[in-house]
Structure 1
Amino acid sequence: MKVVSTLYCTAFCGLKRVASGLAGDVAVAVKGLVDRGETVAIFDDATSRPIEIDFRGTAEEVRARIDTEPETVEAVAKTEPADMDIPAARGRGRPKLGVVAREVTLLPRHWEWLGRQPGGASVALRKLVDEARRVHGERDRKRDAQEAANRFMMAMAGDQPRFEDASRALFASDAEAFDALTELWPADIRDHSRGLAAAAFAAV
């Protein structure tokens, strides 16, 4: 059965936005530029992480790889905490579906407290995470939106006037100042930055 990638992204060639939409559509739209040796930067619309696409072959072959094997569209930068990305050794027996084993570093008093909780450390940690997600969900969404906007700005507008001031306005949730500080930026860079920042300002 055909699996279609649902990753939305936006591509820039220099300071111009040249394509936006599903990864397969964007790849086909910019392949001619890539084949001519133009530098094309493609960003995940949700996180603003740069992504890379395998442009070998025809446009149809590029799209087919993305639509049938979405993992061929790869994030260039992955930022998982250093103490959380080491897979734990797999024990005997059938693994529980949906459970991911990773290494966690805690102080002895933390392990002692976890060990006294009903269900043990794993159950207690899951409950703590779920509760934190419930209580701090809005704050986390705002932070994610700020980081996505700032990540794109650093990549594409780092040399634009008042960049640092605009970044501070973003994290200060000052939408009016942000719009004023980005006014002189190239139109496509400015508009994309503002679009990303709008999600952060809406989560105030």
Structure 2
Amino acid sequence: MVTSARPQFTAFIGQQLLASGPLAEVAIAVMNASRNPAAPPIIMFADASGQPIDLDLRGTERDVVARLPQPAPDREAATEEASTEPRGRGRPKLGVVAREVTLLPRHWEWLGSQPGGASVALRKLVEEARRANGDADRARAARDAAYRFMSVMAGNLAGFEEASRALFADDRRRFVSLIAGWPDDIRDHVVKLAFSDRAEP
């Protein structure tokens, strides 16, 4: 069984890294740092998307943690469970959602002739495409996350436009060279977002 890593989050105070890790840990670090009225602006990011996130940090640490959004169920675990459970209508606890798919009659005819019917055949096709395009999809998601993060944290830094072009051209050497003069924590984090997943199977 392959288990996906838990989502990671990163917070910056000014141009310096404040905390990185699970959401609860980072949220508590942000809450404590924000109590200093002289603290520089603090921004928290979801590493998977590179998007800034806002949390309600009022109250005690327990209050803050209790209000945090819960992670989505592990899709790989759900897939394994689906293969061992008896078939049922809808299977809502596995996250199966009925949606409309528009196909030509010959497509429906072919799907209907497959073992398990149209739904099983479509799921198999999607999983095969995910496996075939997995590396490209991960690279695109990493690039997009890095760009969103650097747009917020480095949009006014020297070389941002050129670095963005190098990032989207997947020119790692030029990209790293162009951001070499950025603040250390910002530079290191954007490189981590952009390229750390490239060696994953």
Q: State whether TM-score is above 0.5.
A: yes
Tell me if 1:151 matches 2:151.
no
Q: Which AA in structure 1 matches 2:151?
A: M
Q: For residues 19 and 30 of structure 1, do their structure 2 counterparts lie closer, same or farther at Cα, with a shift above 3 Å needed?
A: same
Query: Match for 1:34: what amino acid?
Result: S
Q: Does 2:122 match 1:125?
A: yes
Q: Distance in 1 between matches of 2:150 and 2:90?
A: 42
Q: Which moved more, 1:187-196 or 1:52-61?
A: 52-61
Aligned to 1:95: 90
Q: Which whole-Å CA distance do the structure 1 matches of 2:42 and 2:25 have between them?
A: 15
Q: Which residue of 2 aligns with 1:177?
A: 174
Hey, what does 1:12 align to over in structure 2? 12
CA distance in 2, matches of 1:12, 1:194: 15
Number of residue pairs matched by the alignment: 176
Once residues 22 and 45 of structure 2 are traced to their aligned partners in structure 1, the CA distance between those partners, rounded to angstroms, is 11
Is the contact made by 2:135 and 2:198 (CA closer than 8 Å) also made in structure 1?
Answer: no
Aligned to 2:79: none
TM-score in terms of structure 1 length? 0.71
Conserved in 1, the CA contact under 8 Å of 2:139 and 2:197? Answer: yes
* Matched residue, 1:46: 48
Which residue of structure 2 aligns with residue 141 of structure 1? 138
**TM-superposed deviation, 1:182:** 0.5
Q: 1:15 to 1:38 in 2, by over 3 A?
A: closer
Deviations 1:117-175 (A, max 9, x none): 44332122101101111212222222222222122112222222222221222232222
Residue 22 of structure 2 corresponds to 22
Unaligned runs of 5+ in 2: 1-5, 73-87
Higher relative contact order (CA 8 A, sep 6+): 2
Taking the TM superposition and a 5 Å limit, the aligned residue runs for 1:55-134 are 55-63=57-65, 65=66, 70-71=69-70, 94-96=89-91, 97-109=93-105, 110-111=107-108, 113-134=110-131
CA contact (8 A) 2:90 2:98 kept: no
Shift of 1:102: 4.1
* Stretches of structure 1 lacking an aligned partner (at least 5 in a row): 1-5, 75-92
Amino acid at match of 2:179: T
- State the partner residue of 1:88: none
Q: Structure 1's 112 and 154: CA in aligned 2 closer, same or farther, altered over 3 A?
A: farther
Contact 1:142 1:199 in 2 (8 A): no
Contact 1:149/1:196 (CA < 8 Å) preserved in 2? Answer: yes
* CA spacing shift, 1:165–1:124, aligned 2, 3 Å: same
Identity %: 48
In structure 2, relative to structure 1, the CA distance for the partners of 1:121 and 1:164 (3 Å cut) is farther
1:108 is matched by which residue type in structure 2? L
CA root-mean-square deviation: 2.8
CA shift, 1:202, in A, is 4.4
